[in-house]
Amino acid sequence: MSEFSRRDLLKSSALISSAIGLAGCAADNPSPAQPPNIIVLVTDDQRWDMLGAAGNPLIQTPHMDRLATEGVLFQNHFVTTSLCAPSRTSIFTGLYASCHGTHDFATPMSEDLHERSYPGRLRAAGYRTGFVGKYGVGRTLPQDKFSYFEGFSGQGQYLHEVEGESRHLTGMIGDQALEFLETCDGETPFCLSVSFKAPHVQDRVAPFFINDPEFDELYEDVEIPPFKKLDPRYFEGLPDFLKDGYEGRVRQQRRFPTAETWQAAMKRYYRLITGVDVQVGRILAWLDESGLGGNTVIVFTSDNGFFLGERGWAGKYFIHEESIRAPLIVWDPRSRKRMGRRCTEMTLNLDIAPTVLELAGLEIDPSTNGMSVVPLLDGASPPWRTEWFYEFLWQREGIPIPRTEGIRSERWKYNVYLDGQPGYEELYDLEADPEEETNLANSADHQNELERLRSRRQAWKDSLAGWHPGEPWADPA
């Protein structure tokens, strides 16, 4: 084990020990007289299975695991569009991309969207709000929309020279998060949004997943088992328009074309996530030491999943589980009911904004597409979604990534391509085929289900097309 690993695991043990005191003080129900502080942590391209608490036996994420052990881990969390900017806008606003209007990287949030976003609502309600890291929505930075803003536009660079010292962006973001926390007065409630670039690639810059050099030895003595769908037969079975001309294939060939380059890339990807975990640990340590941890809620998630060579692809974009499933943890030490729970309900990136608002005691706009998960935190079984709509409508000249739309239910997944081979459909029975290996769209035995899901897709499109801000919206499912 590397020296870093020993230090970090010792620190993790100390943090968990101090957390027992917080757990012992937790009430059965949070006090409505004390608005909680709220921290929203968002990673970039970290899929759901890249977390120790999610069952990954190799990745070192002790502080994320602490959040899951002491909080609520949502095991079926998804994004409604697997692209950074649209998903981040959905996280801020609780709206589908069809409603907030962001399908690309250039479109900024409007004044109305800023006002309805969870940071906008909380600031208007008296919270001190902060944003740190990759803003990722449009090219204009909204410094005036937050009490404290240290964000950057675009993708940013991982390695920086700061006063003659080499620094990694992940640690710099951690420094800025602590700078915000240390200037909080302990009386005014705060909401801090921390948006990491990691573990996103550094586009077109080898070795692409650029970790902090401090962690270069981490995982060096580990052999990461190849994923099942790295087998060439998954790529060979694809339609031609999703093979060599598709951008995801181009990126896979650029980043990890061989078993050796895949192994090296995966270790760097793991190191980037562990690097974020260290910053999560710094935040938890500050909460423990400041005495504010007992009244602070942390929401941890990622903006989308990521193909790590499965089906011969790199990136995200499509409705397959690797692309759309992300982690979601809510850590709320104010209540014993909210400690150590696992939820299997399907939650969405749309749910984060209404959840934050309810945690803060604010009303949720009836036109919000998402649902607050607060009832699930307490073990309730409210009426919950049984299906949801997926949309990927980004287009950019010279980058061949087909647009798609689909339906994901508890059992079925339906997808239709709007470009490349327009009308090409996929249908998967997730109960019988969780790996999505057999496309049933042309199966004579499944035509009734295919027609039903086609109709569901149209019902969703009609519902979202009729959405208006401020007017009540009902989930068409």
pLDDT tens, N- to C-terminus, the chain (477 residues):
343 443 444 344 444 444 434 444 566 666 556 899 999 999 999 999 999 999 999 999 999 999 999 999 999 999 999 999 999 999 999 999 999 999 999 999 999 999 999 999 999 999 999 999 999 999 999 999 999 999 999 999 999 999 889 999 999 999 999 999 999 999 999 999 999 999 999 998 999 999 999 999 999 999 999 999 999 999 999 999 999 999 999 999 999 999 999 999 999 999 999 999 999 999 999 999 999 999 999 999 999 999 999 999 999 999 999 999 999 999 999 999 899 999 999 999 999 999 999 999 999 999 999 999 999 999 999 999 999 999 999 999 889 999 999 999 999 999 999 999 999 999 999 999 999 999 999 999 999 999 999 999 999 999 999 999 989 999 998
pTM: 0.94
Contact 372, 118 (CB under 8 A): no
CA 264 – CA 245 distance, rounded (Å): 25
The region, left, alpha or beta by phi > 0 then psi within -120 to 50, assigned to residue 278 is: alpha
HSE at residue 209, side-chain half, CA atoms within 13 A, is 31
